[in-house]
Amino acid sequence: MDTSLSGALKKAKRKQLLKIIITSIIVVLILLPILYKTGNYFAAKSSARLNDRLFLHNAIAEPNIQIDSQVTANSSMFNGNIITNRSKNIDGYLVQWSRLTSSYDWLRINIDNNELTPGFYWSDKGSYEYDKQTKNKVATFYNPSIQKYYDGIQNELGEISQMENHVAEVAISFNQPYTWKEIQAKIPNNLNIVWLYMTSPIGDESKGPAGMPVYGFAPSDSPKEAYKNFIDALEKYDVNDETIQKFLNLNKKKQFDEVKILGVMLTGQTKNFKALENKDFIRGASVGATAQIVPYIKPEK
């Protein structure tokens, strides 16, 4: 082959290669911002969806638990985490509760169900559920449709009322459903009604805790408005949950005064729970978190 022709071919190939390289660099420079913007868009969308889901879950399924802060961590254009710091208000005393580390990516959101599900302690002396991080005891509600629980139906009012200089939360499960008006007449004024137990799935609890969620809401200063918000939240949260659907079918069109309540979470000074001992409307009473009273923090009641 003619050397001049060979040289021309090599030169043409080098030009072609250079064009390809330059074109590739330009395409990459154009696509990178687009990819970055697109990735951030989908990541932000999933982050917002997870954020809303966490607040929604707290509103309907976390008895007497409040969200103190909720922040994004380890975020990138592809995924990230949301850290939820939580606490309990025990008659004016804030008690630390487990922190949730939930995750998201472009397609999925994952709530930290491992920390939402209580741990279970068992020994020859007894058993109880506890918060995995703080190790505080978790108060248990007893579904009226479940007859047999692994450790029976506990009533711990006698024990808690003997504790001096403490505040506590106690989950009260009724012997039958009651209306809000009936409940107000039964609960002493020196105790706070901080959460209403409305419904929960029915499962086998005879061999140990089944990890079933409980659904309810904080009545706040306006129980009727709080109930309306609860119904709205249930409809938004529902993902073919049979328990939620059944509750909505039965109660969605009812006024709050007509709705039957299965139990309440109470907080107050331990001595004030003595008035509830041996009351026939109480099926079970389970103590949750407690705190010692100190001179510089006054109980709410």
pLDDT digits (tens, 9 = 90+) for 92-141: 999 999 999 999 998 899 999 999 999 999 888 888 999 999 999 999 99
Q: Which residue has the tokens 């969620």?
A: 213
pTM of the prediction? 0.86
pLDDT of residue 28: 65
The verdict on residue 84 lying in a domain is no
The verdict on residue 92 lying in a domain is no
> Whose CA is closest to 65, among 256, 206, 227, 218?
218
How many independent structural domains does the chain possess? 1
Q: How far apart are CA 188 and CA 202, in angstroms?
A: 30
The verdict on residue 131 lying in a domain is yes
Q: How far apart are CA 208 and CA 94, in angstroms?
A: 30
Q: Which domain holds residue 191?
A: 118-292
Sign of CA dihedral 235, 237, 239, 244: negative
Please, which residues bridge with residue 109 across strands?
104
Q: Which two tokens stand for residue 204?
A: 């086998």
The verdict on residue 2 lying in a domain is no
- Bigger pLDDT: 279 vs 123: 279
The DSSP element (H or E) to which 122 belongs, if any, is strand 119-123
Average pLDDT, the chain: 89
The verdict on residue 188 lying in a domain is yes
The verdict on residue 262 lying in a domain is yes
The verdict on residue 93 lying in a domain is no
Lowest mean pLDDT, pick from 88-102, 180-194, 204-218: 204-218
* Residue 83 confidence (pLDDT) above 80: yes
Contacts of 182 (CB under 8 A, 6+ apart): none
Predicted confidence band of residue 71 (pLDDT cuts 50, 70, 90) = very high
- Torsion angle defined by CA atoms of residues 75, 77, 78 and 83, in that order, rounded to the nearest 10 degrees: 20
The verdict on residue 125 lying in a domain is yes
